[in-house]
Structure formats: structure tokens, C-alpha cells
């Protein structure tokens, strides 16, 4: 869990950061649909789970830029950037209609990530507890699949003035539209360290990484 400190005086967004961390403390969120047709086809052909495949691609995207790996340390009034951020999965239990948060480590190696994420899911199914441990897991972000609905908009509210920088990402069921499978994805970030461009960039990179990940499906 290593990180680097951000120098506020040389931070490339320093003026924006000051405004949205002092004058107008707020978050920014966006929902957009991403074409996951190839990823669905790839998952079926390789007999792998679409959910874990997408989670891997999401982690890869969010770890590709410093902007998505930031954290505010209120104890020292410092900004840091983690070397890596990892996903918190949410396992839904049909019997209790509740969720269990599960900490999963991101590995750049796809096969290792897939194997470990699968194990974490199975372990999460064994309990009905809802326990978070931010002290021992400071560089984790929320990644939650809303499997019951292909929604059009979603907004996550945090307390006013709370400088919480980790991305909060939700996605819903994909649905067919004009021959494509489009999946709604919502991204929430603090406006002090992200704006419309940086959130829109997440969607653009997701589309690019899906293309790279799936490759030439016809050769599978």
C-alpha cells in the first residue's frame, strides 16, 4: 500500500482543487452506456464470467491515471496518490436481500485477478455480514453491480464538504439497442480532483480496453 504525496503548489489542477475543496465542496457524477457486445461474446466463448471480466477492465482503467487513485488525508491536510487501487465487490444474498462487501486485490495479470476475484466471491457468499475495514484497506474503491435493472441515471450522495476522492462506480444490466448490447455505468468522483472530462475519459478508456481485451473474437 505505497503512495506518493501530491505537492499542492505544483499540482496541475491546483486552482480547481482549491475552489472545489474550499469554496464549493461538491462531487460530480455521470451515467453513460458502454457497448459491451464484444465482451459478452468473449465471455461466452471462453466460458468466463462477464462480471469478473468487466471488473478487471474497470480496475485496469482506474489504475491507468493518477487522477483516479487520489485520497485526501484529513489528519494532515494532504493529498496522496496510491500506486494501486482495488475494488470492493458487493455480494448480494437472495435469502436476506442484503449485501456483503468483499475486498478484492487488483492484479494486472488477468488470470491471477480472475482466480482471486472468484475466490473472494465464493467466500462472500458464505457470510451475511456487512463489515468495512477502511483502516486496513485505505486504497479500495466501491464497484457495485445493480443486476436487477438497466437504468438510465443514478446518483450517489455524500455529506456536503466531505473530501472523499475514491471513485464510486455502479453498473446495471446491459440491454440490446439497435443490435448492440449497451450497459449503463455510473461514475461518481469528488469535483476537487475530477471534472466532466476526467469522468468522460473513464468511458472512453473502457471502450478502448474492451477492444484490446477481446481482441479478434473470431479466432477464439
Q: Give the range of the structural domain holding residue 189, as residue numbers without chain letter.
A: 3-214
Which pLDDT value is given to residue 218? 66
Dump pLDDT digits (tens) for 150-192.
999 999 888 767 899 999 999 999 999 999 999 999 999 999 9
- Round to the nearest angstrom and report the end-to-end CA distance of the chain: 37
Instruction: Report yes or no on 220 lying in a domain.
Output: no
Which pLDDT value is given to residue 1? 76
Which pLDDT value is given to residue 162? 81
163 contacts 74 by C-beta, under 8 angstroms: yes
Contacts of the segment 68-76: beta carbons below 8 A, 24+ positions apart? 68/167, 68/189, 68/194, 68/198, 68/202, 69/139, 70/6, 70/165, 70/193, 71/3, 71/138, 71/139, 71/165, 71/166, 72/21, 72/163, 72/164, 72/165, 72/190, 72/192, 74/163
- Give, in order, the Cα–Cα distances in Å from 111 to each of 6, 47, 48, 61: 33, 13, 11, 17
Chain CA centroid to CA 209, Å: 14
Q: Which residues of the chain have pLDDT under 50?
A: none
Which pLDDT value is given to residue 220? 65
> How many independent structural domains does the chain possess?
1
Instruction: Report yes or no on 219 lying in a domain.
Output: no
Which pLDDT value is given to residue 96? 97
Instruction: Report yes or no on 29 lying in a domain.
Output: yes
Instruction: Report yes or no on 109 lying in a domain.
Output: yes
Instruction: Report yes or no on 23 lying in a domain.
Output: yes
Other Cβ atoms less than 10 A from the Cβ of 173: the count is 14
CATH of the domain at 112: 3.30.559.10
Amino acid at each position: 500500500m505505497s503512495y506518493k504525496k501530491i505537492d499542492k503548489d505544483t499540482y496541475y489542477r491546483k486552482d480547481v482543487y482549491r475552489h472545489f475543496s474550499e469554496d464549493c465542496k461538491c462531487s460530480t457524477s455521470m451515467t453513460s452506456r458502454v457497448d459491451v457486445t464484444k465482451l459478452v461474446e468473449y465471455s461466452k466463448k471462453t466460458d468466463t464470467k462477464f462480471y469478473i471480466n468487466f471488473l478487471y477492465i474497470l480496475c485496469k482503467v482506474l489504475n491507468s491515471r493518477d487522477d483516479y487513485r487520489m485520497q485526501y488525508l484529513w489528519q494532515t491536510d494532504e493529498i496522496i496518490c496510491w500506486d494501486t487501487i482495488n475494488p470492493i465487490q458487493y455480494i448480494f444474498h437472495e435469502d436476506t436481500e442484503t449485501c456483503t462487501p468483499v475486498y478484492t486485490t487488483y492484479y494486472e495479470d488477468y488470470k491471477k485477478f480472475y482466480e482471486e476475484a472468484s475466490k473472494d466471491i465464493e467466500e462472500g457468499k458464505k457470510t451475511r455480514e456487512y463489515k468495512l475495514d477502511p483502516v486496513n484497506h485505505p486504497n479500495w474503491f466501491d464497484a457495485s453491480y445493480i443486476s436487477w435493472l438497466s437504468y438510465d441515471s443514478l446518483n450517489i450522495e455524500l455529506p456536503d464538504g466531505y473530501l472523499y476522492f475514491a471513485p464510486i462506480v455502479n453498473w446495471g444490466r446491459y440491454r440490446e439497442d439497435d443490435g448492440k448490447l449497451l450497459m449503463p455505468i455510473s461514475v461518481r468522483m469528488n469535483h476537487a480532483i475530477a471534472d466532466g472530462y476526467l469522468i468522460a475519459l473513464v468511458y472512453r478508456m473502457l471502450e478502448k480496453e474492451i477492444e484490446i481485451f477481446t481482441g479478434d473474437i473470431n479466432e477464439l
